[in-house]
Amino acid sequence: MFDVFFLSYGEPNADENFEQLKRKAPHAQRVEGIAGIHNAHKHCAELSTTDMFYVVDGDCYIKDDFTFKYSGFNKDSIYIWRAQDPIYGVSTNFGCIKIFSKNIIEGNNVKLNSFSNLKYWKTGNPLDYVMNLINFSDAPLIEFKEVASEHRYNTNPYQTWSTIFRMFIKQRIKKSINYPNASKSLPKLFSRITSDADHAWYAKHGALDAEDFYQKNKENLDNFAVINDYGVMREMFNSNYEFKIIKS
């Protein structure tokens, strides 16, 4: 059996999602309030008593028909399942369930490869944490097609806007540097809303704001580290939307 960690950082529905997780994995442990994606995952690795462990994000709701598995995994690989998006109706790798090994998280098997844009996925503040680990450790990524969870990020205007802003920027940068797993369709999808799901208006504007931010900063990719600075992200949102009444 592997340890299962639930990483929460102020998500409004974290308590509900954690209760669902415990129904599927009663031994799951909650890790809350650790700033920094790398720091939070490293903390899980330090806590883990097993060589491999699951990570479930705070806005991830496990589907009733998903069963946690604990055998048949290679400790030199990273494993992810797909998650259902509540606004766009598609399944993606954002907000998904993951399996890591302690070695990969702690950097014990690091062997830098020749990826020319590696500096944009640096360990201190990676734009995409999983992709960063893959490129620093040469760990193969195994993607299961099974939809294991729902990515319930649309709990309020800010959570919705910031999630889509971050997702859009990641895909936009990957596409611009010809990154191997960059989705060609997601950026277009993010800015096209036909859903009446909660806070869909803020999802659309998260994408529009992200495109504007990308165009203004594409010559200096280091500026995109803002997507992992939740304080700055909150300030960006408040400056545009705090005093507007929006029916979403």
What is the per-residue pLDDT for 123? 40
Evaluate whether 98 touches 80 at the Cβ level (below 8 Å).
yes
Q: In which residue are the tokens 């998280």 written?
A: 105
What is the per-residue pLDDT for 209? 94
What is the rounded distance in angstroms from the CA atom of residue 165 to the CA atom of residue 209? 7
Q: What is the mean pLDDT of residues 153-161?
A: 95
Higher-confidence residue of 171 and 111: namely 171
Higher-confidence residue of 13 and 175: namely 13
Secondary structure (DSSP) of 187-219? HHHHT-----STTHHHHHHHHHHHHHHHHHHTT
What is the rounded distance in angstroms from the CA atom of residue 222 to the CA atom of residue 217? 9
Evaluate whether 86 touches 154 at the Cβ level (below 8 Å).
yes
Q: Does domain 1-153 have CATH number 3.90.550.10?
A: yes
Band the pLDDT of 157: cuts 50, 70, 90: very high
Residue 196: is its pLDDT beyond 70?
A: yes
Evaluate whether 154 touches 91 at the Cβ level (below 8 Å).
no
Band the pLDDT of 183: cuts 50, 70, 90: low
HSE of 37, CA atoms in CB hemisphere, 13 A: 22
Residue 116: is its pLDDT beyond 50?
A: no
What is the per-residue pLDDT for 111? 42
What is the per-residue pLDDT for 225? 81
Tokens for 218, please give them.
């594409």
What is the per-residue pLDDT for 195? 66
Q: What is the mean pLDDT of residues 193-209?
A: 85
Measured in whole angstroms, the distance separating CA 227 from the mean position of its chain's CA atoms is 11
pTM (2 d.p.):
0.83
Q: In which residue are the tokens 């909150």 written?
A: 234
